[in-house]
Every structure is written in structure tokens, then in C-alpha cells.
């Protein structure tokens, strides 16, 4: 996983609640194993059926075409567990999402891929949104995970909270499976014990065969 | 120490704690589908990591398979590569695959319980947000992403923070033609699409005690639509009777041992929950969505709400939904012309769902101009339905009788509506464009969907049945 330390980019305001993963990464008719995640992102908000762009959508506006930070409302990433809703952000160089809250599975998927999910409290969130809207894509913001601060135009730095373990994982780009495999002895012990206490769980066989 | 059922299952599956503070929770049963499997197989192969417990892992082709009669793996060209890649990954790793053409293929959330792959008190993971469907059997299930899927394949554990505990108490006898789908839609409306975020939800109460297992699965299936991390019903005698004799369920002496354990799977009296919610179901009428998220719900005799009656924070979303759905505030739902009806999906495609719909459809005809389709949740459900003659009832009425799969639920298999069409659907998400670009989806029960197909309009099934 690509480590995350700091990211400086234009911040784009997508001021809605409950943005679901069907909107973020819709199933497109031309699916294949190596989907074009860059094109997939918000596809139906960005493009008409004939392929032409919808100019009003925030990421199609000239000042936000290269946005690397997305600023949004409550419950971002609701719905389907599809990880393409994170991969499509990264394919567009969006490496930070600042939200009032995230859906559980989406936040997990962010952490698995080095995308920093920042939750700001209501006051900080509204203040930050106002600054992002006022700046309107003129000046980049810097999100620094080491100091846990957001710096940029329109006001003082904003401190953000993130669980220490999630922070370390992002900073070091830790291999999730590797972290767990350090506990392989415990896993083996668990299985040995389960085989005596709840043996039906350690066996899944078709009784007709 | 008094414990909830969630605590008991969690604690008995907790392998240890990782350096980052996450619990490692053992996964007893892992079920894959083709949309995500290939990424995870490729990732493990690149890292040179084997699948740790292929014997506890199962795979089902469901999301991209065509569901038209006579389908094969090439019928939906967009799915073929996914289907082949999962087949190859399963072959290499020795994973039991329910392939296209297998007599037990179907939707993963339907196949796993009906074969008894999932058991009470077991932990279960699926790379799909509707994983907790199997909570209807008293299993603790988690939906996950693709990278987490690879993690579980390699380690057989999931690394998670312990969710909080919520209890939803459902009491009262359900009215005629009211089912778990209606209860779930009402709960989502009351609690909101993020109302259960961070929680494992236990559903209890007299309405649950009286509820058939398939409906419990419908209820737990929709738990994610209020943001819940997991949702389940404590197993009881109905659960045990439902499970006994299914192919993957323990047999003989092992069944007796398992049963004795399963009877202990209850929340202790007085155990504390982080949140408690109650709903009296006795006055509930059939429910239907009017908008573009599953919390935008009214009773079937209701109207599209006026903006001033909607919470201020939800008004912008409502305005957007009015526009997308082509509905003005104050419009009654019943009577709106529909173009399409879909009965199927992991939410409502089990045999009793089809039986309910068939009862309403029998001896009637789908209204002119309506395209109506029934897609059984699994090949087994399809076979059983055909043995009971349900397929004839649907076909005679003008329904298309499909092959099993996810079909029109997410539009991942090529089946979708046309722009501007209004669909009554027994699925789980009415999001914009989900069932096709500009398609307007109304979520409802199989009974309401069947009645609407006959009427050609959104219909109150209680009136249709009365007028036969």
C-alpha cells in the first residue's frame, strides 16, 4: 500500500449527505477485469449518455478538474461494499476525503488503499467547507497526517483526529495481511481449540457426498 | 457478567488483538462472488500467499450472470471475464464453486443459508454489503471490500473494531399482506440510512418470534440500508427446524451437540445495549419508497411528502429525489403508472416470497404495457417453485420466469430498465441509475410488486386481493 504522509491539492466541495457507492463508482456497460477507474468515478454525474460532459458537476468545473481533496457531508460512501468506489478516487489523484462522517465499509476500504478519510466535527466541518467554497479552487490546501493538520487559505490550520492505529497504518503503508500474520500462532491455536469445542464450525462438508 | 448474543459470538471468535488495536475475529464461513474474487486471487498470487482455509470458503457466480431463460456464461458479455476468472481462481485454490449451470447456483446470500453452509452462532464474511442476510439464522455476518476479502482468504480472520450493540424490538401481529420487507422499510425510514452505522443490530420481539426464517433473512438483509455493520436474530426452534437436514448442516450426534450449543445463543436478561429501538408493527400497512434512498418511504396509502414535513437536513436530498423520480409533493403513490416490475434479489427471492407473489398473480394477467419478471434467488428455489407449479402461474399471467442471479437489482448482469421507466422492485436500493440510467425505482414487498404488475400501477395489494 502506498504510504500517506502529506497531500497538497485543490479541494472540491461536494456538499451532499449519504453519497452512495453506486453514484461514486457505477456499474458501466463496458465492464472488464481491468476497469477504467479514472472514467468510472461519478460517471453518471460527470457524463451524459452520449459521452458529453455535464458542466455543472463540481469535478467538471475548470477550477476543480485537478482536485485532490474531496469535501463532503454525512455518511459518505453508503451502500454497496464495492472497493472500486475507492480505487476510482485514487485513479483521479484524490487521496483525501474530508467528511462529516463515513459509512463503515467505505471507511475500511479507504484505509486499505492509502486514502485518508478525515472526519471533522460539525463546527470544524462547516468552517472548513466555508473556506473551501470561498477559495473556489484558487489555492491548494495541505493535509498533513504527521501533524494531523489541514492548512490552506482563509483561516488558521485545522486539527483533525484519527485513531492512532489507523494513522500509523497509513503513514507506514503497512501491509494489512502481514500485520495479521504476526498472529498466525494464535490463529492456529484458535482452530485447534474450535475443533474440539465447536467442531461443526471447523468442518464444512456436503453430507450427500 | 451479562452479555448480549453479539458479545457471546464475538468473544468466542476473537483470536487476539493486533498491534493496531483491532480485534482479529475468526471467520467460520467465507463466501465469494465473481465481481470481487478475481482481484483478491490476483493480489494473493502476486504476494505468493496461499488461501489458508479453502475448505471453509465457497464461491458463487451471481452478480454478473445473465438471468434470461436459456442463459449461459456468454449471455452477458460484460460478465464473462469475471465468471471465468473466479472459476480459474477456485480451481487453482481448491474452493468449492457454485458455477453457472450448477444445480445449486444462485445468489450467494440465498445459496449459503439454503445449503446450511451458514449456521447459528457462526461468523460469516462476504465481499458484499448484504452479507448480514444470513443473520436471519443467527449468524454474525460482515460485508467487506475486496482487499479485506484477500485478507480473509490469506488468514481466515477479519481485523475489525468491535461494533456497538443495538437492539430493535418488533412487537405486534402483522396485518394482512404486511411482511418483513414493510417492517424493514419503516425502520429505515424512522432511523435513517445511517441510523445503525457502527452497530451490530439484534432484532427481537413478538413479531420476530412469529416471523418465518425467510422473512428474518429479508429483515437482516436490509440492515445495511440503515448503515448497520451486522444484523441478526437469535436462533430459536423455527431456526433449528429450518436447518435440520440441509446438506452442510452437521448430522447425527454432531447435530445434537451443535443444537445443544445453539440453544445457549441468547442475550442474557438484563444485558446492556448501546442503543434500543422499538416499533409496534400491528398498525403497519404495506410500505413503498417514493425517493432515491431507502429511507424515503411512505405507507401505500400515503403521498409523496411535502418539503416542509421533511427534516431540514434532508430537504435538499428530497428535492433532488422529487426531480429524479418525476414526482411532485402531495402525489399519492398508489395509482402511479408502472412500466416494469421485478421480483427477485437477495432481499426477496426465496420460495415463500415467490409463493406470496404467485397467490396474488394466480388467474390474473400482467397489465398491458408492463414488463414483469420473476428471478428466483437460486437454482434450488427455481426447481422447488417449478415443482409447485409457480412458474406456470407466473408465465400464464405474462411474467418472464428467469434463471437465478442478482439480475436487475444492481444492473450488473445487463438487465436494466429504460430511461424514465418507473419500476416496482422487491430489491434493496432505489439509488439513482441503479437499475439503469434515469430509471425510477420504488422498493416494495413481493405482494405489492405482484399487485402492481397486475394493476399496471402502484397498487395496494389489500384492495386488489379483495376485488378478485
> Could you report the predicted ipTM of this complex, rounded to two decimals?
0.94
Strands (E), B246-295: 275-280, 287-289
Find the CB nearest B145 among A22, A105, A191: A105
- Per-residue pLDDT band for A71 (boundaries 50, 70, 90) equals very high
Q: Are residues A81 and A14 part of one domain?
A: yes
Q: Are residues A87 and A54 part of one domain?
A: yes
How many A-B residue pairs are in contact by the CB < 8 A criterion? 189
Q: Is residue A167's pLDDT more than 50?
A: yes
Segments making up each domain of chain B, as ranges: 5-262, 287-466
Q: Are residues A98 and A51 part of one domain?
A: yes
Measure the CA–CA gap between A104 and B228, rounded to whole angstroms.
8
Would you mind telling me the total number of residues written for chain B in this entry?
Answer: 468
Find the CB nearest B145 among A81, A164, A207: A81
Find the CB nearest B193 among A75, A166, A174: A75
Sheet of B157-160: strand order equals B14-17, B23-26, B157-160
H helix runs in chain A, sequence order: 21-24, 37-40, 43-46, 84-91, 104-112, 122-135, 164-172, 176-181, 184-197
- Residues in A touching B229 (Cβ below 8 Å): 104
Residues facing residue B204 across a β-bridge: B169
Q: Are residues A179 and A169 part of one domain?
A: no
Minimal C-alpha gap between B432 and chain A (Å): 7
Burial of A122 (0-12, 13-18, 19+ CB in 10 A): exposed
- Strand, helix or coil for residue B418: coil
pLDDT at B239: 98
More confident site: A31 or A74: A74
Contact in structure between B295 and B451 (CB atoms under 8 Å)? no
- Residues in B touching A104 (Cβ below 8 Å): 197-198, 227, 229
Find the CB nearest B22 among A79, A112, A165: A165
Single out the residue of B221, B226, B213 nearest to residue B187, CA to CA.
B226
B5-262 fold: Aconitase; domain 3 (3.30.499)
pLDDT at B466: 58
How far, in whole angstroms, is CA B88 from its chain's centroid?
Answer: 27
Q: Are residues A94 and A61 part of one domain?
A: yes
Contact in structure between B399 and B364 (CB atoms under 8 Å)? no
Measure the CA–CA gap between A30 and B77, rounded to whole angstroms.
9
Structural domains counted in chain A: 2
Q: For each of chain B's 468 residues, which pLDDT tens digit applies? A: 899 999 999 999 999 999 888 999 999 999 999 999 999 999 999 999 999 999 999 999 999 999 999 999 999 999 999 999 999 999 999 999 999 999 999 999 999 999 999 999 999 999 999 999 999 999 999 999 999 999 999 999 999 999 999 999 999 999 999 999 999 999 999 999 999 999 999 999 999 999 999 999 999 999 999 999 999 999 999 999 999 999 999 999 999 999 999 999 999 999 999 999 999 999 999 999 999 999 999 999 999 999 999 999 999 999 999 999 999 999 999 999 999 999 999 999 999 999 999 999 999 999 999 999 999 999 999 999 999 999 999 999 999 999 999 999 988 888 999 999 999 999 999 999 999 999 999 999 999 999 999 999 999 999 987 544
Residues A103, B127: C-beta atoms closer than 8 Å:
no
Neighbouring residues of B424: CB distance < 8 A, sequence distance ≥ 6: B288, B338, B340, B341, B342, B442, B444, B448, B449, B452, B453, B458
Q: Are residues A136 and A184 part of one domain?
A: no
Residue A106: closest CA among chain B residues belongs to which residue? Answer: B145
pLDDT at A29: 76
In B, residues 359-418, which contact A (CB 8 Å cutoff)?
A: 410-412, 414
Would you mind telling me the total number of residues written for chain A in this entry?
Answer: 209
Residues A109, B145: C-beta atoms closer than 8 Å:
yes
- Strand, helix or coil for residue A201: helix
Q: Are residues A200 and A157 part of one domain?
A: no
Q: Are residues A135 and A192 part of one domain?
A: no
Question: Any idea which residue has 431463460 for its cell?
Answer: B69
pLDDT at A30: 73
Q: Are residues A138 and A41 part of one domain?
A: yes
Q: Is B39 on the interface with A (CB under 8 A)?
A: yes
How far, in whole angstroms, is CA B106 from its chain's centroid?
Answer: 13
- Reading the block at residue A193, the C-alpha cell is 481449540
Q: Are residues A132 and A46 part of one domain?
A: yes
Residues B78, A29: C-beta atoms closer than 8 Å:
yes
pLDDT at A119: 98
- Residues in B touching A207 (Cβ below 8 Å): 247-249, 251
- Residues in B touching A17 (Cβ below 8 Å): 313-314, 317
Number of Cβ within a 10 Å radius of residue B227: 25
CATH of the domain at A140: 3.20.19.10
Say yes or no: do domains B5-262 and B287-466 share a fold: yes
Q: Is A91 a domain residue? A: yes
Residue B121: closest CA among chain A residues belongs to which residue? Answer: A201
Mean pLDDT computed over A93-98: 98
Residues B143, A81: C-beta atoms closer than 8 Å:
yes
Q: Is B256 on the interface with A (CB under 8 A)?
A: no
pLDDT at A124: 95
Its domain, for residue A103, covers 6-174
Q: Are residues A110 and A88 part of one domain?
A: yes
Most B CBs within 10 A among A20, A27, A36, A184, hence the mutation to make, goes to: A27
Q: Is B324 on the interface with A (CB under 8 A)?
A: no
Single out the residue of A72, A73, A83 nearest to residue A105, CA to CA.
A83
Residue B21: closest CA among chain A residues belongs to which residue? Answer: A165
H or E element: which one contains B443?
A: strand B440-443
pLDDT at A27: 87
Minimal C-alpha gap between A200 and chain B (Å): 6
- Residues in A touching B414 (Cβ below 8 Å): 29
pLDDT at B310: 95
DSSP per position, B70-100: T--TTSSHHHHHHHHHHHHHHHHHT-EEE-T
pLDDT at B467: 46
Residue B84: closest CA among chain A residues belongs to which residue? Answer: A33
- Residues in B touching A193 (Cβ below 8 Å): none
Q: Are residues A183 and A114 part of one domain?
A: no
Q: Homologous superfamily of B287-466 in CATH? A: Aconitase, domain 3 (3.30.499.10)
- Residues in B touching A103 (Cβ below 8 Å): 194, 197, 227
Strands (E), B254-296: 275-280, 287-289
pLDDT at A209: 84
Amino acid at each position: 500500500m502506498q504510504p500517506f504522509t502529506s497531500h497538497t491539492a485543490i479541494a472540491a466541495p461536494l456538499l451532499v449527505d449519504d453519497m452512495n457507492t453506486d453514484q461514486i463508482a457505477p456499474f458501466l456497460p463496458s465492464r472488464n477485469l481491468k476497469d477504467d477507474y479514472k472514467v468510472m468515478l461519478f460517471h453518471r454525474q460527470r457524463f451524459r449518455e452520449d459521452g458529453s460532459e455535464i458542466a455543472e458537476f463540481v469535478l467538471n468545473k475548470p477550477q476543480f478538474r485537478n482536485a485532490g481533496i474531496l469535501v463532503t457531508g454525512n455518511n459518505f460512501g453508503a451502500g454497496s461494499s464495492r472497493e472500486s468506489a475507492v480505487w476510482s478516487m485514487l485513479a483521479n489523484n484524490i487521496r483525501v476525503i474530508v467528511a462529516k462522517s463515513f459509512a463503515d465499509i467505505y471507511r475500511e476500504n479507504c484505509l486499505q488503499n492509502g486514502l485518508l478519510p478525515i472526519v471533522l466535527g460539525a463546527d470544524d466541518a462547516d468552517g472548513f467547507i466555508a473556506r473551501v467554497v470561498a477559495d473556489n479552487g484558487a489555492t491548494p490546501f495541505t493535509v498533513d497526517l504527521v501533524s494531523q493538520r489541514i492548512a490552506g487559505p482563509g483561516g488558521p490550520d485545522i486539527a483533525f483526529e484519527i485513531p492512532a492505529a489507523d494513522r500509523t497504518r497509513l503513514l507506514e503503508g503497512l501491509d494489512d495481511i502481514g500485520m495479521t500474520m504476526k498472529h498466525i500462532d494464535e490463529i492456529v491455536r484458535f482452530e485447534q481449540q474450535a475443533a474440539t469445542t465447536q467442531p461443526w464450525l471447523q468442518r464444512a462438508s456436503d453430507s450427500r457426498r | 457478567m451479562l452479555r448480549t448474543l453479539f458479545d457471546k459470538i464475538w468473544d468466542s471468535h476473537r483470536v487476539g488483538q493486533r498491534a493496531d488495536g483491532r480485534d482479529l475475529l475468526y471467520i467460520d464461513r467465507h463466501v465469494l462472488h465473481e465481481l470481487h474474487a478475481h482481484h483478491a486471487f490476483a493480489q494473493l498470487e502476486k504476494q505468493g500467499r496461499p488461501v489458508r482455509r479453502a475448505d471453509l470458503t465457497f464461491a458463487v457466480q451471481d452478480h454478473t450472470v445473465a438471468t434470461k431463460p436459456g442463459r449461459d456464461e456468454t449471455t452477458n458479455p460484460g460478465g464473462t471475464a469475471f465468471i471465468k476468472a473466479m472459476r480459474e481462481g477456485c480451481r487453482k485454490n481448491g474452493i468449492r464453486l457454485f458455477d453457472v449451470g450448477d444445480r445449486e447456483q444462485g445468489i450467494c446470500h440465498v445459496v449459503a443459508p439454503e445449503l446450511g453452509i451458514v449456521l447459528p452462532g457462526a461468523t460469516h464474511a462476504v465481499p458484499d454489503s448484504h452479507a448480514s442476510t444470513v443473520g436471519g439464522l443467527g449468524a454474525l455476518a460482515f460485508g467487506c471490500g475486496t482487499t479485506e476479502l484477500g485478507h480473509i482468504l490469506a488468514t481466515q480472520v477479519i481485523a475489525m473494531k468491535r461494533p456497538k450493540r443495538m437492539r430493535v424490538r418488533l412487537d405486534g401481529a402483522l396485518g394482512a399482506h404486511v411482511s418483513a420487507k414493510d417492517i424493514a422499510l419503516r425502520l429505515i425510514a424512522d432511523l435513517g440510512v445511517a441510523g445503525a452505522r457502527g452497530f451490530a443490530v439484534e432484532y427481537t420481539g413478538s413479531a420476530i418470534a412469529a416471523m418465518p426464517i425467510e422473512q428474518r433473512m429479508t429483515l437482516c438483509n436490509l440492515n445495511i440500508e440503515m448503515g448497520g455493520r451486522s444484523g441478526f436474530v437469535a436462533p430459536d426452534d423455527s431456526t433449528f427446524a429450518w436447518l435440520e437436514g440441509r446438506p452442510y448442516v452437521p448430522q447425527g450426534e454432531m447435530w445434537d451437540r451443535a443444537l445443544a450449543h445453539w440453544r445457549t445463543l441468547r442475550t442474557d436478561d438484563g444485558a446492556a445495549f448501546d442503543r434500543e429501538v422499538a416499533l409496534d408493527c400491528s398498525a403497519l400497512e404495506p410500505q413503498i419508497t417514493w425517493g432515491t434512498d431507502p429511507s424515503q418511504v411512505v405507507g401505500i396509502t400515503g403521498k409523496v411528502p411535502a418539503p416542509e414535513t421533511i427534516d431540514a437536513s434532508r430537504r435538499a436530498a428530497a428535492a433532488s429525489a422529487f426531480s429524479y423520480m418525476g414526482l411532485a409533493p402531495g402525489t399519492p403513490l398508489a395509482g402511479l403508472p408502472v412500466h416494469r416490475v421485478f421480483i427477485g434479489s437477495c432481499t426477496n427471492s426465496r420460495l415463500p416470497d415467490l409463493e406470496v407473489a404467485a397467490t396474488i398473480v394466480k388467474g390474473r394477467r400482467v397489465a398491458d404495457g408492463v414488463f414483469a419478471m420473476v428471478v428466483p434467488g437460486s437454482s434450488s428455489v427455481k426447481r422447488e417453485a417449478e415443482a409447485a407449479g409457480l412458474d406456470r402461474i407466473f408465465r400464464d399471467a405474462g411474467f418472464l420466469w428467469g434463471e437465478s442471479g442478482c439480475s436487475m437489482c444492481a444492473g450488473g448482469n445487463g438487465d436494466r430498465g429504460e430511461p424514465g421507466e418507473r419500476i416496482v422492485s422487491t430489491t434493496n436500493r432505489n439509488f439513482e441509475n441503479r437499475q439503469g440510467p434515469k430509471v425510477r425505482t420504488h422498493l416494495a414487498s413481493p405482494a405489492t410488486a405482484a399487485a402492481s404488475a397486475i394493476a399496471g400501477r402502484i397498487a395496494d395489494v389489500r384492495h386488489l386481493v379483495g376485488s378478485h
